[in-house]
Amino acid sequence: MSEQTRYILNENDLPRYWYNILADMPVPLSPPLHPATGQPLTPDALSALFPMELILQEVSQERYIEIPEPVREAYKLYRPTPLIRARRLEKVLDTPAHIYYKYEGVSPSGSHKTNTALAQAFYNKVAGTHALTTETGAGQWGSALAMACRFFDLDLEVYMVKVSYQQKPYRRFLMETYGAQVFASPTDRTQAGRAILATNPDHPGSLGIAISEAVEVAATSGGKKKYSLGSVLNHVILHQTVIGEEALKQMDLAGEYPDMVIGCIGGGSNFSGIAFPFLRENLRNGQRTRLIAVEPTAAPSLTRGIYAYDFGDTAGMTPLMKMYTLGHSFTPPAIHAGGLRYHGMAPTLCALYDAGYIEAVAVPQRSVFEAAVLFTCTEGILPAPESAHAIRVAIDEALKAKEAGEKRVILFNLSGHGHFDLSAYNAYNNGQLEDLALPEEEIAAIPSRLPQISQSQVA
Ligand SMILES: *Cc1c(COP(=O)(O)O)cnc(C)c1O
């Protein structure tokens, strides 16, 4: 039997449809609420921020939504992405498990974020939008959207979390090369930013604050600018399902079916993108794949957070969403996986986790880098610190399979490469990384960080 390593699809196999989990939700989803009134949000209320087509996708109950041809054309620059059997890693672990990974780091900006960036830029362009605003943590989302805005001829303002702006200047240079304007958040350009700076001029920033700034700029632009979010929302997760749809075909080429699908979670988009098509097979076609979401112990939204209505941003400008949250004013420890430092999580993913359709596990930073280095030294690809959370758990599961003496088929999403994260690897290599688990006092204080409307629910 030949030992195939890469499972490659043709351009013709590029999916024609995204998969919408809302059509198959086995549990009801609590509606988003208006931030001022606490009443269920009308699609109209979102129109200051998003073009109508994306708002319709946000609430659509259609199972499949067609990928527009200009978006498919742009996807062809890097899709279908490869599915790779980690044979060299399997050998080193001496495990009977078969480990597969879907590699999204081949996208031009280096992560899965390009999948939704291209779609969002396209829908904004056809709606007549001239400029977008957004936030970025580590810079992957900002650089994906910067490229997409250049492709579809839109201006872009990026509010970048200050600690990342300082730690990761190369991501900023990439965004600027694509033509975006990048600001270190909190800035003095917005009320939300000025309020934070007044209490602490050296505030390191957070995704929640950067979202407040980007939302404020779009909401007060008199319709000239729209806002774009890189994760969490239903339409973003919809766009990411292209990952799982391809992976289903590729596992078929490999003649196997995964016993488990693993992904890291920041806002939940890359995990949901690979996992939801497999969840559909569980729900509709009797498969029994385990779906495992991995988060850092420094920002453990699913495993330690509270399931309650909370704001998506720090200033309380976004709609209230029911999600597992650490509290919207939470500033997570400065771990190197910047993309996983968010207080909340995608509402669909949260509802599915709450109902037991998805598992979650939290892992500390040093064990993540240990896994990342082992992966780099066996498979050759240096993973993004975010993606390495999924590798950690894939390795742990492969070792459990070895202990049990069972062949288990493991699929994980390698959401991006880590070529802009080499200073984090340098810190790890020199023994300078800490685990930075969230202190118990911080966990105990979550209820006090929730908005009034949630207090009654958690009391
Ligand atoms: C942004 C990012 C993440 C986390 O965001 P999700 O929406 O949870 O996917 C994970 N991996 C990489 C490489 C990222 O850029």
Structural domains for the chain:
6-13+80-110+240-458 (3.40.50.1100), 17-66+112-234 (3.40.50.1100)
Answer yes or no: is the C-beta of 243 below 6 A from any ligand 1 atom.
Answer: no
Answer yes or no: is the C-beta of 339 below 6 A from any ligand 1 atom.
Answer: yes
Answer yes or no: is the C-beta of 110 below 6 A from any ligand 1 atom.
Answer: no
292/256 Cα distance (integer angstroms): 19
Nearest CA to ligand 1 atom 7: 269
- The tens digit of pLDDT for each residue in 173-209 reads 999 999 999 999 999 999 999 999 999 999 999 888 9
Instruction: Compute, in degrees rounded to 10, the torsion defined by CA atoms 245, 119, 135, 19.
Output: -30
Answer yes or no: is the C-beta of 113 below 6 A from any ligand 1 atom.
Answer: yes
Check residue 45 and report its DSSP letter.
Answer: G
Q: Where are the beta strands (DSSP E) in 74-154?
A: 83-85, 98-103, 131-136
Q: What angle separates helix 234-254 from helix 269-285, to the nearest 10 degrees?
A: 60
* Percent of the chain whose pLDDT exceeds 90: 85
The predicted structure's pLDDT at residue 1: 53
Q: Is residue 459 over pLDDT 60? A: no
Nearest CA to ligand 1 atom 2: 339
Best residue for ligand 1 mutational test, from 237, 269, 291, 421 (most atoms within 8 Å of Cβ):
269
Higher pLDDT pick, 436 / 175: 175
Atom of ligand 1 nearest to the CA of 340: 4
Answer yes or no: is the C-beta of 384 below 6 A from any ligand 1 atom.
Answer: yes
252/248 Cα distance (integer angstroms): 6
Task: For residues 24-29, give the mean pLDDT.
Answer: 96
Q: Helix or strand or coil: residue 1? A: coil
Task: Assess contact for 399 and 420: CB atoms under 8 A.
Answer: no
Residue 45 CA to ligand 1 center (angstroms) comes to 27
Nearest CA to ligand 1 atom 1: 339
User: pLDDT-derived band of residue 455, with 50, 70 and 90 as boundaries?
Assistant: low
Nearest CA to ligand 1 atom 14: 339
390/171 Cα distance (integer angstroms): 23
User: pLDDT-derived band of residue 126, with 50, 70 and 90 as boundaries?
Assistant: very high
The predicted structure's pLDDT at residue 268: 98
- Of 78-87, 276-285, 401-410, 442-451, which gets the smallest average pLDDT? 442-451
Higher pLDDT pick, 75 / 440: 75
Higher pLDDT pick, 166 / 182: 182
Residue 437 structure tokens = 């688990």
Best residue for ligand 1 mutational test, from 241, 270, 335 (most atoms within 8 Å of Cβ):
270
The predicted structure's pLDDT at residue 341: 82
Counts for the chain of helices (H) and strands (E), in that order = 18, 15
Task: For residues 131-136, give the mean pLDDT.
Answer: 97
Residue 384 CA to ligand 1 center (angstroms) comes to 9
Task: Assess contact for 113 and 104: CB atoms under 8 A.
Answer: no
